[in-house]
Structure formats: C-alpha cells, structure tokens
Amino acid sequence: MTTYNDQLSDYITRTFVPESEPLRRIRAQTAEHGLPGIELSPEEGQFLHWLVRATGARRVVEIGTLGGYSGSCIALALPNDGRATLHTIEINPDHAAVAQRHFALAGVDDRVTVHVGAAREVLPTLTARGPFDLVFMDADRDSYPDYFTWIAENLRVGGTLAMHNAFANGKVLTDKPTIFHFNRQVAHDPRFTSTIYPAGDGMLIATRRA
C-alpha cells in the first residue's frame, strides 16, 4: 500500500530538514534574480546531501547549476580537505554568476568549480579529472541519453548517478516524455543497479556495479 503524499513530504521536511540560513537565502535570492523556480525542494536537497555523505563522494559532477542550491547541498557534504571538488556545469552565464555568489554565501566556493557552457562540450574536458564518485543531472533532459554514455564511462565502479525530476513533473506515465524512456534505459542497463526515490518529483538513483 502506498501512503506517501504531500502531507508526509511536509512532515519529512519539518522533521529532518532544518534548512540552514545560507540555503534559505539562496532559495529566496534565486527567485529574486528571476531564475526559474525549478531548484530542488529542501527535502530533495537534504536527500542529495545525505547521498553524497553516505557514498563518501569526493569527486562530483553536476549538470545544471541554476542558482547553486543543489550544488551547495552537494558541496556542503564534501570533505573540506582541499581535495574534494564539485564540478558544476551551467549553460547560462548569468545563472552561473548568481550561483558563484551563492556558493560564496554557503561558504563552499573553495570546493566548487563552475564551468560555463553546454554540457556536451564541457563533459569531455572533465574526463581527465575522473573517474568520478557521483554525478547529478538536472538540466537539458533531451540530452540525458548522451550524458549517460559519458557517465557510464567516467563514473567509477561503485559510483552513483542521481537525476532530478524522474517523474517529469508528474507526467512520466501520462505523456511518456524523454524521462520515461531514459528511466527505462537506466533500469535495463546491466552495468547499473537503479531505482527511484519518490520524494518531490522523484530522484532516479543508479549505482555502477560493473
């Protein structure tokens, strides 16, 4: 029996997500700068933060920076030892500039490198810095199959792929958009063990096993 609903989501947020003041300000300022309101919810951000800590990730790639909220959730979970790094990719230079200021606000700008450009072009330049422990995707969904090819080659065995909006804003079953087919692609790839964490709009999680 499925019991998850908006009320339980709110319960999780109130109980387990004491959003820090910097993160709260980043969410507010992202809206004030006129950026699209498509960043992670606090509940999803906390899950992503937990995932980085639980996997012990040190080398992370993020596709889709936006205002830096998800990147801050990731970077705050990285060891602050001068070697752990988040490489985040944003195609819009104005969004990247806002995110850079927000990383400073969160106190993580020393462990985040913002790459401005199309992910198709930036990802190959990061290959030499891998293999990576975790990749988070949250932009340019039509290109996910292409990104997945790069990820499968550059994610270490035991590494994790996380993807936001696995439910395609609730339309994954009715409209069967790109995400519907991408979810199936990952689910049937023998190199990965995968599932969807059903909070918010769903987060696909896949671990490379071979």
Task: State yes or no: pLDDT of 204 exceeds 80.
Answer: yes
Contact present, 51 and 204 (Cβ < 8 Å): no
Summarised one tens digit per residue, pLDDT across range 130-183 is 999 999 999 988 899 999 999 999 999 999 999 999 999 888 988 878 899 999
Q: For residues 164 and 63, give the distance between their C-alpha atoms in angstroms, rounded to a whole number.
A: 11
Q: For residues 56 and 51, give the distance between their C-alpha atoms in angstroms, rounded to a whole number.
A: 8
Least-confidence region, from 33-37, 115-119, 169-173, 188-192: 33-37
Contacts of residue 158, defined as CB under 8 A and 6 or more positions apart, other chains included, come to: 207, 208, 209
* Helix spans in 17-143 (H): 21-32, 42-55, 69-75, 93-106, 119-126
pTM: 0.92
